[in-house]
Amino acid sequence: MTSERLVIVGGDAAGMSAASQARRTKGPQELEITAFERGRFSSYSACGIPYWVAGDVSGRDRLIARSPEEHRARGIDLRMRTEVTELDVAGRRVRWRALETGEEGWTGYDKLVLATGARPVRPPLPGIDAPGVHGVQTLGDGQALLDALSQEPGRRAVVVGAGYIGVEMAEALLRRGYAVTVVNSGEQPMATLDPDMGRLVHEAMTAMGITVVGGTEVTEVLTDG
């Protein structure tokens, strides 16, 4: 009996949850599972990065739910640092490239799952790519931020945006000894909440010592002042 082939593009939470569920449904003799992840980590909690920065999480590995080796032990061919560069829908195959070696190839599939996630909004502002400007989405981002904080501890930090991650990062930076200002285009933090609840969040942040500037858009990033 010929086994089916499942290909998953993206090896973080969604992709590997799909892979694990598929493996629980069918064993290796019935279903071949190949997953491609261009990053260095699989199955990790991006939502936990602010708590890692704050020191509540003792280390990066505590945010990883399952390592690539653990996935492979369950019969999932997880290929790290491998980017899918082309989909051949008619031929039911994907083209991939190993980022470390440059090796390229095609892998066929019967079923395909795209779990690549999304890119964070990074507005095209002057200075947005300057040194000292950090995004927080991946474990690599978190490590880069921690490395930068360890080099210049206890200064000033500005957080642009007051959604869940912005609020959590503001608290994390405050706990690391930074004077923190949050700049938000909305009048109150946490736009997903009702305005009265957002006002309570605002008041709590202010009571902690975080400066919250609402109804304000960032137009430029200057890093030489």
Catalogue the active-site residues. Answer: 47
Distance CA(107)–CA(34), nearest Å, equals 9
d(CA 159, CA 50): 12
SS3 102: coil
Residues β-bridged to residue 97? 83, 104
Per-residue tokens: 164: 């869940």
H or E element in which residue 37 lies: strand 31-37
Cα 198 to Cα 182: distance, rounded to the nearest angstrom: 14
